[in-house]
Amino acid sequence: MTSPEFDPGAEFDRQVRTLSEGWGRPDLAELAAPLKPIALSHPAAQDAPQEGRVPFLIVVPRALLPLEEALPRLTLAGKAKPGVIDRNYQGPQDVASFVTIQALLEDDASEKLPYLVFDIERGEEFCDVVPLAALETIEQRGRTPLSIEEGVALLTHFPALLAKNKCFELAGSRNGDKRVPALWISEGAPKLGWCWQGNPHTWLGMASAGSRFGALATVCC
């Protein structure tokens, strides 16, 4: 049952305005419009955002907005300094090599159109946990890790969720080596970096989602 303080339709419209007015991309808003009935009818979308959790996100794939353009659009809550890509990535080709893992693509997410992610958890319970162990726990719960684009969407629509000692890994994007992408705070701005899959960090958890649906998908139980 929908929380009396939360209107999923109004939240969907707010996220669309963020893309259209905040990012200056009305085309993205138009592409996202068919997703609204799916968002309104999904059970996970009915609960209000909580500490470290949000009901749904509109995600823009990098085919529509490259990461090099998306990161500078991100800011921390109440701040203006633009997001950056960590210099430890060896240029644009290295960043581009981190692609969405097959387990997420099989969950009806589109690579060319905006799509929805439901029941997102920031995952601070996994701070100081080895990423591979965190990923195993997430999979045992029937959930999947967020991709880089989904992490960008989380910070786009809910910038306050990236907070000191509550940053998050994005293990839904990998390139075949031992690195795990992550979003954290550096010099007062969001930063897309990476960590080793076997190294825990006290300030870095792992974000995950319950499900994903594209514009033509049918909501299942």
Overall average pLDDT of the 142-160 stretch: 96
Q: CA-CA distance, 147 to 173, in Å (whole number)? A: 5
| Residue recorded with tokens 């989602």 | 209
User: Does the structure show a pLDDT above 50 at 181?
Assistant: yes
What is the tally of structural domains in the chain? Answer: 1
Model confidence at 4, pLDDT cuts 50, 70, 90, reads low
pLDDT at 5: 77
pLDDT at 106: 63
Q: Is residue 28 part of a domain?
A: yes
Q: Which two tokens stand for residue 169?
A: 């890994």
Q: Is residue 173 part of a domain?
A: yes
The dihedral built from the CA positions of residue 135, 183, 61 and 212, taken in this order, carries a sign that is positive
User: Does the structure show a pLDDT above 60 at 108?
Assistant: no
Q: Is residue 194 part of a domain?
A: yes
The answer to whether the pTM exceeds 0.75 is yes
Q: Is residue 195 part of a domain?
A: yes
Tell me which residue range forms the domain holding 136: 8-213
Output 2 or 106, whichever has higher pLDDT: 106
What percentage of the chain exceeds 90 in pLDDT?
Answer: 80
Cα–Cα separations (whole angstroms), residue 202 to 175, 181, 199, 205: 24, 16, 10, 8
Q: Which of 101-110, 175-184, 185-194 has the lowest mean pLDDT?
A: 101-110
Q: Is residue 158 part of a domain?
A: yes
Q: Is residue 2 part of a domain?
A: no
Q: Is residue 1 part of a domain?
A: no
Q: Is residue 219 part of a domain?
A: no
Q: CA-CA distance, 122 to 202, in Å (whole number)? A: 14
Average pLDDT, the chain: 91
| Residue recorded with tokens 């309104």 | 40
Model confidence at 115, pLDDT cuts 50, 70, 90, reads very high
User: Does the structure show a pLDDT above 50 at 18?
Assistant: yes
Q: CA-CA distance, 3 to 54, in Å (whole number)? A: 13
pLDDT at 9: 95
Overall average pLDDT of the 175-204 stretch: 97
